[in-house]
Structure formats: structure tokens, C-alpha cells
């Protein structure tokens, strides 16, 4: 198989080229994603978003990045120096390392690992250490609260995420991401496993710390959480890491559930079509994550935890159990679709029952004639006058 | 060997200093939260960061000059403050306000109530966790009404438009049409916010049953305005102690039943709609005529007397207690600010809830620090 970069025959040069390619990809995509997020948020909030720097404000994020690099790298006097300064790397490196094994097309990846899925999950799961370090070392109570929230949230949501991915690996029969994609060359997995797909999206939202799960960095409560004391280039590393993980989870979702670069129904796709397909599928995830961010409010930490442990994890195991039944007894995939769909309906029903959705009626006490007759009075007045 | 008792984790409550520079303390309010993990054990509010001595300053200048200070207390519902102050002076001097002025005052006050509630709805969404969406929704409509105020008074924040006895000057010729043009937009904006938040499940779990106060507790704490009505107490000064010309309009007073955050949100949303209703009726009935009484003294000299007048402000009962010992200055001016009285119940609402709730509860009281500290 070909690697993403040109094969020069020297393993060290190869690795260096691969890292450079990834850094370029990551930086450019993060710049684009930040611009896109600002534009989407502006659309939702009836604003224009960045318009001044470059056409349609395209260069705004580049200007912001330059500004951040030029800023002073502040460190609180009472902060624990080494932990404080290393924390951005502890967040940044795992997200970066996860990109290594993502296959972008059939032949393009830095490394085709047989345990690719396992590797991605294991490496991204390390990021919470960085949040905890940042929260603890900043010597700030908001940062501490945020760091603790981040640790609790990331570890909890790692569990349903891993279990649904296990369910996928069971039916695909491999942990190799390329083989999981090839397994879906006829019909993507989200059709057969809607429940697993749903759990993956929710867990990914939580792992990305986006609304409605942006509890660790809640702007109106802990004012940025672990990042509160960071400035300049260290802060921008956190920022870069968060957008890189957005890219990674979107890529992972499109590979594992939407069939990656494959055109459905077994058609062979050429290289450019493959690139286009994975771009479109990843963009769907990214657009969804961004849309949700500006359309929902934040959950509370106890609600978040109970939702994970009481709803998502049991349902994720249900998906594993259903997949096991299908594999052992060789039942048709249609059974999986029906039962998994029923599981999704169950998940929705649990949410519906857990939330007090009863519409509240206000008691209206009329002052003089009351508002309903006031409407009529207005009509009278305009009619006679 | 590890001793048995060493396995018991030792926990300490930590004190978190929220404010005065915190994005969701609505100004320069500071509360010291004592938290056990994520639970709030104790709240200690600290106020006074914005104390400018508005009461004392009002005592040092004559009745007309002190109007400017009334705007600077509750800076989101300025017309109501001016109304309360002017009513106090009018009662003291026994001035008769012309019809046209009364109507214009009511229209502006009710529009001001809408802008204030739009501000609340937007900021409350941010406190709950919207990334600015509810804020821009609210502010788009607020801006249109703000434009009317600017057209009428020449200012966007400190209007100083009401005068004892009437108004500073008449409204522009196209005033009625201007307000009529804006009303559909405002209704649509309120509907947008309604659709955005009321049916949302996450908003429901974050607000229902949180920060609840019973009707009895609310009365004991001296709450007023939407907070009191959310608890189900039927008390609105416009209806129960009609001042100005509020007894000429038909409208409803919305009352909640649970007294929690969700009811406070709903009550404010409905109140804004009812205010638009009043504005429409007032526009229909707006008479022509003078805006100041015919016999207006050049210098306002009060007799020796005490008066208390109160209006139903956007946040509750805004009262002005005025003591005169003769002369052209008040001897004592006391402002009964609804924000301050409502804020006093913060501890009872907050203790036992989570940190995230504490932010939302503070937001639901809808304090204006200029009004708390004066």
C-alpha cells in the first residue's frame, strides 16, 4: 500500500515527511474550521461574521493566529511551572498523534495500522490528562473546577464511545480502519446500527466539549475552565487541539459509520471521487457539530453524568449484544436494523420521560377587561376611528 | 499497612470568588460561593461596587436637575424610573399632567419594559449556555425599539425625557407610525425566542424546579415584579394600585405556579407581549394637546411634605420616597429598588443547588447593578 507521502526509502525521512504533511493538514484545516465556525455561528445569529480581512474574512483566522503568536506568554506566579507549561502539549500531542492512522482514501494514510481503531481511541483518550494538568497547575479555582469537570466528562464518555466502536469492530471483523471501510462498500453501517450511530454522535459531542456538553469550559460558569490562565501561543495550542479533535472525530465517524471514501452499493470509486466522498461525509459531521453548538444550551454536570452512565452505556452494551446475536446465529442484517432502531426509539423515549416536557400554562389575570378582549377593542377602535 | 481511617477521603469546601469581573454576574456584582464539589453550600453576596450616591446627589440639586440621576439607577428600564420620580414630584407640587403626556409616558414605559425583558431573555439564555444565539435574537428587536427612543429623546441610554408635569418636548410627528411599524417585528422576535427556548428539553431540565420560591416565601422576602408573579401571587401595581392612566387599558397579568426559573422566563415573555398590547391601545387613544400643564412654575418649590410613589418597573416595584422641607430641593430622596430587594433572596434560592444553577438563578433575578447600588 502507498503511504500519504512520497516513499524515499529512508524510514527517518519518511516519518519526517509524514509529520510535515500532517502538520500542514492540521494547521490548514484548523484555520478553515475556525473560519467556518464563525461564519456558521454568524448565519445562525443573524450576523455577518468576519468580513474585513481577505475575501469573506477568509484570512481573519490567520490574522488572529499571528496576533496570538505575538502575545506575551503569561504564567501566574503561583502556578506550578512545569505542569503549567507542559499541559498544552499534553492536550495537543494525543490529538495530533491520532491523525497518523486515519485513512483519507484507500491508499492515503501515514500508517495503516491493524489496530487502527484501537489506536485512535486509546490516543485521543489521553487528552484528559492535559486538561487535568492545566486545571491543577493554574492555581485558579475556576481552572480547578473546569479541569475536574473535564476529567470526569472525558473519562465517562470514553466508555460508551469505545463500546459502540467495539460493536462496529465485531461486525466488521477487524480493527483496521481501512478494512472497516471496505466492509461498508455496499451499505454504510449507520443504516444497520442507528443506535450505535446515535451513541457515537452524543459521545463525540461530549469528547469535543461542545454544546450541550461544553461543561468543562463553560463560559458563563467557569469562564473557560482549564484555559483561564493561558495566553498567547499556549492558549492557541489548546484551541488548535480542540479543532483538530473536531476533525478527527468527524473523520472517525465518517469512516466507521458512513463508509469513509466508499461509494455505496459496491461501486469502485476513483481517487478524486474518494477524496470528494470523504470530504463530504466529514463535512456533514462537522456541520452538525457546529449547528448543535449554537442551537442548544448547556447541561449540568450531574445530568451529564447520569445520562452517560444510566442511558448511553447500557444502550451501547445493548448494541454489542444485538451484534453478538446476529454474528452467532447468523441472522439477517434486517434484524439488526429493526432491533437497533427499536433501541434508538427507546433512547428517545428515555429522554422524553426523564425530561418534564409538560407544557406549563400561565394563569392570566385580566387587568380591567383582559388582553383577549383588548384585541377586540383595538379592532373596534381602528374600525370606528 | 494502611489504616482504616486513612481510606476515608478528607474533603474541604472551597470558596470561589465569583465576580466582580465575571461574565455572568451582570455587572459588578460579587458573590462568594462556598462549594462542596459542585454543590453550593453557602453564598455570600457583596454589593456596592457601583455605588455612586444617586440618592444623596439628588438631594443636592433642584427637582428638574435630578432627573438625570434617575436614568442611571436602573439603566435597562430608564423611563420607569423617571416616571416614578416625576410622579413623586408631581404629587408633592400638585401638578396636573396633560393627557397627551400621560399617554406618551405609558407608551414609552411599556416599550421600555419590552426592551428590558428582551435583554433578560437574551442574557438568561447565555447564562444557561447558549453561545450568544438568544442574545442576538433578543438584541435585534431591542435595537429597533431603541431606535424609537433615540428618535424621541435624542439619546440611547440616558434619556432624561420626562419632566415633572409632563415631557421635555413633544414626540416627532411620525411617532405613532414609527411605533406601529416596529410592533410586528417585536412580536416576531418574542415568538422566535419562544420557539428557541420554551420547548427545548435541555432548557426544561435546566430550569424546571430550580431556584423555586413559594408564594409565601416570596412575599416574606419582599420580592416584587415578575419574580413574585412567577410564584403565583397576583400583584401588579398597574392593576392593583393604578397610577398614571393604566386603568384605561385592557391587558392580562401573567402568573406562574411553581416560582422556578422556567416560570420566571415564561412570565417575562408573556409580560412583554401584554406590554405590546397596551402600547397598541395607547397608540389608538393618543390625544392631541399640550404636553405640559398651562400654569407651570418656573422654579419648582415644594411644600413641607412626604410622598411615596411607586411604579411597576420591569423588575418589580420601583418606588421613590421623597421628603421635602420646603425649597427647591428634596430633603431626602429614597429609591426603593426592586433589584436590591429581589437580590436579598439569592441565598435562599441558591443554597443546595449546583454551581451552574447558581449562575442561572442569579440571571433569573435579572438584577441591574446600577439599581442595586444606586
Per-residue model confidence as pLDDT tens digits over A59-106: 888 898 889 888 888 888 888 888 998 999 999 888 888 888 888 887
Q: In this complex, do A299 and B205 lie within 8 Å of one another by their Cβ atoms?
A: yes
What is the chain B residue with the closest CA to A149? B38
Residue A363 in any domain: the answer is no
Exposed, middle or buried, B247 (CB in 10 Å: 0-12/13-18/19+)? exposed
Which residue in A211, A212, A302 is closest to B354 by CB distance? A302
Residue A342 in any domain: the answer is yes
Structure letter (DSSP) for residue B235:
-
Whether A382 shows a pLDDT value over 70: the answer reads no
The pLDDT score that the predictor gives to residue B179 is 92
The pLDDT score that the predictor gives to residue B289 is 85
Query: What confidence tier does A186 reach under pLDDT thresholds 50, 70, 90?
Result: confident
Q: In this complex, do A223 and B22 lie within 8 Å of one another by their Cβ atoms?
A: yes
Q: In this complex, do A355 and B201 lie within 8 Å of one another by their Cβ atoms?
A: yes
A125 with A47, same domain?
Answer: no
Residue A375 in any domain: the answer is no
A:B CB pairs within 8 Å: 174
Strand partners, B162: B167
The pLDDT score that the predictor gives to residue A373 is 46
The pLDDT score that the predictor gives to residue A380 is 41
Mean pLDDT of A278-294: 90
Interface residue B131 vs chain A (CB under 8 A): yes
**What residues contact B217, with CB distance under 8 A and at least 6 apart?**
B231, B345, B348
Structure letter (DSSP) for residue B177:
H
Tens-digit pLDDT profile for residues A118-172: 899 889 888 888 898 998 888 888 888 888 888 889 888 989 999 999 988 888 8
| Grouped pLDDT means (10 residues each) for chain B, 374 residues | 61 83 82 87 87 87 85 88 90 87 91 92 88 88 91 88 87 90 91 88 87 88 90 87 86 88 91 90 88 82 88 89 87 89 88 88 88 85
% residues pLDDT > 70 (chain A): 92
Interface residue B158 vs chain A (CB under 8 A): no
A55 with A142, same domain?
Answer: no
Nearest-CA neighbor of A94 among A278, A256, A242? A242
Whether A52 shows a pLDDT value over 60: the answer reads yes
A189 with A41, same domain?
Answer: no
The pLDDT score that the predictor gives to residue A361 is 80
Rounded CA gap, A99 and A316, in Å?
Answer: 25
A158 with A198, same domain?
Answer: yes
Interface residue B280 vs chain A (CB under 8 A): yes
Q: In this complex, do A381 and B284 lie within 8 Å of one another by their Cβ atoms?
A: yes
Exposed, middle or buried, A332 (CB in 10 Å: 0-12/13-18/19+)? exposed
A21 with A145, same domain?
Answer: no
Architecture of the B14-373 domain: Orthogonal Bundle (1.10)
**Contact call for residues B84 and B162 (beta carbons, < 8 A):** no
Can you read off the three cell numbers belonging to residue A170? Answer: 465485531
Mutation target for A interface from B226, B277, B356: give the one with most A CBs within 10 A. Answer: B356
Structure letter (DSSP) for residue B5:
G
The pLDDT score that the predictor gives to residue B4 is 57
Give the global pTM.
0.86
Q: Output the CA angle B65-B68-B74, nearest 5 degrees.
A: 145
Tens-digit pLDDT profile for residues A8-51: 677 788 778 888 888 888 888 888 899 999 999 998 888 888 88
**A332 vs B255: which has the higher pLDDT:** B255
Indicate the length of chain B as a whole number. 374
Whether A371 shows a pLDDT value over 60: the answer reads no
Alpha helix ranges (H) inside B169-315: 175-197, 201-207, 215-221, 226-230, 237-240, 261-285
Work out how many domains chain A is built from and give that number.
Answer: 2
Interface residue B177 vs chain A (CB under 8 A): no
Residue A193 in any domain: the answer is yes
- Chain B residues inside the 8 Å CB shell of A214: 129
Three-class secondary structure assignment of chain A: CCCCCCCCCCHHHHHHHHHHHHHHHHHHHHHHHHHHHHHHHHHHCCCCCCCCCCHHHCCHHHHHHHHHHHCCCCCCCCCCHHHHHHHHHHHHHHHHHHHHHCCCCCCCCCCCCCCHHHHHHHHHCCHHHHHHHHHHHCCCHHHHHHHHHHHHHHHHHHHHHHHHHHHHHHHHCCCCHHHHHHHCCCCCHHHHCHHHHHHHHHHHHHHCCCCCCCCCCCCCCCCCHHHCCCCHHHHHHHHHHHHHHHHHHHHHHHHHCCCCCCECCCECCCHHHHHHHHHHHHHHHHHHHHHHHHHCCCCCHHHHHHHHHHHHHHHHHHHHHHHHHHHHHCCCHHHHHHHHHHHHHHHHHHHHHHCCCCCCCCEEEEECCCHHHHHHHHHHHHHHC
What residues of chain A, 137 to 156, have a C-beta less than 8 Å from chain B?
141-142, 144-145, 149
Query: What confidence tier does A364 reach under pLDDT thresholds 50, 70, 90?
Result: confident
The pLDDT score that the predictor gives to residue B106 is 92
What residues of chain A, 56 to 85, have a C-beta less than 8 Å from chain B?
none
A191 with A284, same domain?
Answer: yes
Domain boundaries, chain B: 14-373
The pLDDT score that the predictor gives to residue A377 is 42
Residue A322 in any domain: the answer is yes
Can you read off the three cell numbers belonging to residue B207? Answer: 430550569
Rounded CA gap, A293 and A299, in Å?
Answer: 12
Can you read off the three cell numbers belonging to residue A234? Answer: 499556549
Rounded CA gap, A310 and A353, in Å?
Answer: 13
What is the chain B residue with the closest CA to A46? B136
List Cα–Cα distances, B342 to B34, B61, B102, B362, B367, in angstroms.
Answer: 21, 30, 29, 10, 8
**Contact call for residues B279 and B104 (beta carbons, < 8 A):** no
Q: Which run of H or E residues covers position B161?
A: none
**Contact call for residues A164 and A196 (beta carbons, < 8 A):** yes
Tens-digit pLDDT profile for residues A209-252: 888 888 888 878 888 888 888 888 888 888 888 899 999 999 99
Q: In this complex, do A294 and B133 lie within 8 Å of one another by their Cβ atoms?
A: yes
Let me know how many helices (H) and strands (E) chain B has, helices first.
15, 9
Residue B141: half-sphere exposure toward Cβ, Cα within 13 Å: 30
Query: What confidence tier does A275 reach under pLDDT thresholds 50, 70, 90?
Result: confident
A103 with A37, same domain?
Answer: no
Nearest-CA neighbor of A29 among A212, A250, A208? A250
Whether A370 shows a pLDDT value over 80: the answer reads no
Rounded CA gap, A289 and A213, in Å?
Answer: 11
A99 with A59, same domain?
Answer: no
A129 with A199, same domain?
Answer: yes
A9 with A106, same domain?
Answer: no
Can you read off the three cell numbers belonging to residue A130? Answer: 492535559
Q: Which run of H or E residues covers position B129?
A: none
**Contact call for residues A312 and A163 (beta carbons, < 8 A):** no
Rounded CA gap, B93 and B310, in Å?
Answer: 17
Which residue in B128, B247, B263 is closest to A360 by CB distance? B263
Interface residue A303 vs chain B (CB under 8 A): yes
| Phi, psi for residue B260 in degrees, rounded to 5 | -100, -175
**Chain centroid to CA A205:** 4
Average pLDDT, chain A: 83
Q: In this complex, do B129 and A296 lie within 8 Å of one another by their Cβ atoms?
A: yes
Strand partners, B336: B319
Residue A276 in any domain: the answer is yes
The pLDDT score that the predictor gives to residue B109 is 92
The pLDDT score that the predictor gives to residue A1 is 38
Q: Minimal Cα–Cα distance from B229 to chain A, Å? A: 10
Rounded CA gap, B121 and B265, in Å?
Answer: 7
**What residues contact B44, with CB distance under 8 A and at least 6 apart?**
B31, B32, B34, B347
Helices A116-124 and A141-172: crossing angle in degrees, nearest 10, is 170
What is the chain B residue with the closest CA to A294? B131
Phi-psi region of A365 (alpha: psi -120 to 50; beta: other; left: phi over 0): beta
- Chain A residues inside the 8 Å CB shell of B266: 360, 362
Residue B174 CB: number of other CB atoms within 10 A?
11
Q: Minimal Cα–Cα distance from B159 to chain A, Å? A: 28
Q: Output the CA angle A314-A354-B265, nearest 5 degrees.
A: 145
Q: In this complex, do A142 and B136 lie within 8 Å of one another by their Cβ atoms?
A: no
Interface residue B133 vs chain A (CB under 8 A): yes
**What residues contact A327, with CB distance under 8 A and at least 6 apart?**
A170, A171
Q: In this complex, do A223 and B128 lie within 8 Å of one another by their Cβ atoms?
A: no
Residue A232 in any domain: the answer is yes
What is the chain A residue with the closest CA to B232? A363
Query: Is the torsion defined by CA of A373, A374, A376, A381 positive or negative?
Result: positive
- Chain B residues inside the 8 Å CB shell of A381: 281, 284-285
A41 with A103, same domain?
Answer: no
B75 by DSSP, 3-state: which? coil
Can you read off the three cell numbers belonging to residue B358? Answer: 447558581
Q: What is the residue range of A6's domain?
A: 1-70
Residue A377 in any domain: the answer is no
Interface residue A360 vs chain B (CB under 8 A): yes
Q: In this complex, do B284 and A41 lie within 8 Å of one another by their Cβ atoms?
A: no
Interface residue A41 vs chain B (CB under 8 A): yes
The pLDDT score that the predictor gives to residue A385 is 31
**Contact call for residues A135 and A291 (beta carbons, < 8 A):** no
**Contact call for residues A48 and A42 (beta carbons, < 8 A):** yes
Rounded CA gap, B329 and A180, in Å?
Answer: 84
The pLDDT score that the predictor gives to residue A266 is 66
A27 with A154, same domain?
Answer: no
Amino acid at each position: 500500500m502507498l503511504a500519504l507521502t512520497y516513499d524515499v526509502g529512508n524510514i527517518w525521512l519518511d516519518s519526517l515527511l509524514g509529520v510535515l504533511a500532517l502538520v500542514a493538514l492540521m494547521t490548514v484545516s484548523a484555520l478553515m474550521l475556525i473560519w467556518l465556525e464563525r461564519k456558521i455561528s454568524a448565519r445562525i445569529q443573524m450576523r455577518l461574521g468576519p468580513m474585513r480581512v481577505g475575501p469573506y474574512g477568509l484570512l481573519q483566522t490567520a490574522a488572529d493566529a499571528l496576533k496570538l503568536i505575538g502575545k506575551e506568554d503569561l504564567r501566574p506566579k503561583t502556578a506550578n511551572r512545569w505542569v503549567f507549561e507542559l499541559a498544552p502539549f499534553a492536550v495537543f500531542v494525543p490529538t495530533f498523534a491520532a491523525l497518523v492512522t486515519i485513512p483519507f482514501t484507500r491508499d492515503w494514510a501515514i500508517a495503516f495500522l491493524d489496530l487502527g481503531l484501537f489506536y485512535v481511541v486509546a490516543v485521543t483518550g489521553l487528552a484528559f490528562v492535559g486538561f487535568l494538568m492545566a486545571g491543577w497547575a493554574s492555581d485558579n479555582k475556576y481552572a480547578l473546577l473546569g479541569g475536574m469537570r473535564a476529567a470526569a466528562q472525558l473519562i465517562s464518555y470514553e466508555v460508551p464511545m469505545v463500546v459502540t466502536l467495539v460493536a462496529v469492530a465485531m461486525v466488521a471483523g477487524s480493527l483496521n480502519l481501512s478494512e472497516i471501510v471496505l466492509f461498508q462498500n455496499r451499505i454504510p453501517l449507520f443504516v444497520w446500527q442507528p443506535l450505535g450511530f446515535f451513541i457515537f454522535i452524543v459521545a463525540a459531542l461530549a469528547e469535543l466539549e461542545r454544546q450541550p456538553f461544553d461543561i468543562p469550559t463553560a463560559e458563563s460558569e467557569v469562564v473557560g475552565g482549564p484555559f483561564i490562565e493561558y495566553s498567547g501561543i499556549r492558549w492557541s495550542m489548546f484551541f488548535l487541539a480542540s479543532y483538530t479533535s473536531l476533525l478527527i472525530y468527524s473523520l472517525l465517524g465518517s469512516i466507521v459509520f458512513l463508509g469513509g471514501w466508499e461509494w455505496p452499493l459496491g461501486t469502485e470509486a476513483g481517487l478524486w471521487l474518494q477524496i470528494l466522498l470523504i470530504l463530504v461525509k466529514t463535512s456533514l459531521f462537522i456541520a452538525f457539530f457546529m449547528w448543535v453548538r449554537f442551537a442548544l444550551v448547556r447541561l449540568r454536570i450531574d445530568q451529564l453524568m447520569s445520562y452517560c452512565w444510566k442511558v448511553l452505556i447500557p444502550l451501547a452494551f445493548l448494541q454489542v449484544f444485538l451484534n453478538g446475536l446476529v454474528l452467532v446465529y447468523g441472522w439477517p442484517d434486517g434484524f439488526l436494523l429493526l432491533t437497533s432502531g427499536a433501541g434508538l426509539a427507546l433512547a428517545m423515549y428515555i429522554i422524553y420521560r426523564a425530561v418534564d416536557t409538560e407544557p406549563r400554562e400561565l394563569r392570566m389575570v385580566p387587568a380591567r377587561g383582559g388582553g383577549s378582549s383588548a384585541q377586540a377593542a383595538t379592532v373596534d377602535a381602528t374600525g370606528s376611528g | 499497612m494502611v489504616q482504616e481511617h486513612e481510606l476515608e477521603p478528607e474533603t474541604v469546601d472551597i470558596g470561589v470568588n465569583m465576580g466582580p469581573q465575571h461574565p455572568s454576574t451582570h455587572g459588578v456584582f460579587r458573590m462568594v460561593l462556598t462549594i462542596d464539589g459542585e454543590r453550593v453550600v453557602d453564598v455570600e453576596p457583596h454589593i456596592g461596587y457601583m455605588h455612586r450616591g444617586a440618592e444623596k446627589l439628588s438631594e443636592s440639586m433642584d427637582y428638574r436637575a435630578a432627573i438625570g440621576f434617575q436614568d442611571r439607577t436602573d439603566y435597562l428600564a430608564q423611563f420607569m424610573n423617571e416616571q416614578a420620580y416625576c410622579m413623586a414630584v408631581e404629587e408633592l407640587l400638585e401638578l396636573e399632567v396633560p393627557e397627551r403626556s400621560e399617554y406618551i409616558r405609558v407608551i414609552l414605559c411599556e416599550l421600555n419594559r419590552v426592551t428590558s425583558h428582551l435583554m433578560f431573555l437574551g442574557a438568561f439564555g447565555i447564562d444557561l449556555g447558549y453561545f450568544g444565539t438568544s442574545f442576538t435574537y433578543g438584541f435585534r428587536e431591542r435595537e429597533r425599539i431603541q431606535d424609537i427612543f433615540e428618535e424621541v429623546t435624542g439619546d440611547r441610554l440616558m434619556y432624561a425625557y420626562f419632566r415633572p408635569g409632563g415631557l421635555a418636548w413633544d414626540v416627532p410627528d411620525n411617532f405613532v407610525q414609527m411605533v406601529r411599524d416596529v410592533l410586528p417585528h417585536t412580536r416576531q422576535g418574542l415568538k422566535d425566542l419562544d420557539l428557541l427556548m420554551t420547548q427545548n428539553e435541555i432548557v426544561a431540565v435546566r430550569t424546571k424546579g430550580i431556584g423555586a420560591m413559594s408564594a409565601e416565601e416570596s412575599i416574606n422576602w419582599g420580592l416584587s415584579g415578575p419574580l413574585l408573579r412567577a410564584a403565583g401571587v397576583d400583584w401588579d401595581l398597574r392593576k392593583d394600585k393604578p397610577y398614571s392612566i393604566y386603568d384605561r387599558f385592557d391587558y392580562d397579568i401573567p402568573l406562574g405556579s411553581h416560582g422556578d426559573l422556567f416560570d420566571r422566563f415564561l412570565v417575562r415573555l408573556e409580560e412583554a407581549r401584554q406590554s405590546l398590547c397596551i402600547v397598541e391601545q395607547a397608540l389608538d387613544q393618543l390625544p392631541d394637546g399640550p404636553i405640559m400643564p398651562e400654569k407651570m412654575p418656573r422654579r419648582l418649590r415644594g411644600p413641607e411634605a412626604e410622598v411615596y410613589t411607586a411604579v411597576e418597573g420591569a423588575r418589580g416595584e420601583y418606588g421613590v420616597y421623597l421628603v421635602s422641607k420646603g425649597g427647591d430641593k428634596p430633603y431626602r430622596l429614597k429609591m426603593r429598588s426592586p433589584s436590591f430587594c429581589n437580590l436579598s433572596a439569592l441565598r435562599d434560592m441558591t443554597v443546595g443547588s449546583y454551581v451552574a444553577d447558581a449562575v442561572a438563578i442569579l440571571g433569573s433575578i435579572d438584577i441591574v447593578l446600577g439599581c442595586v447600588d444606586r
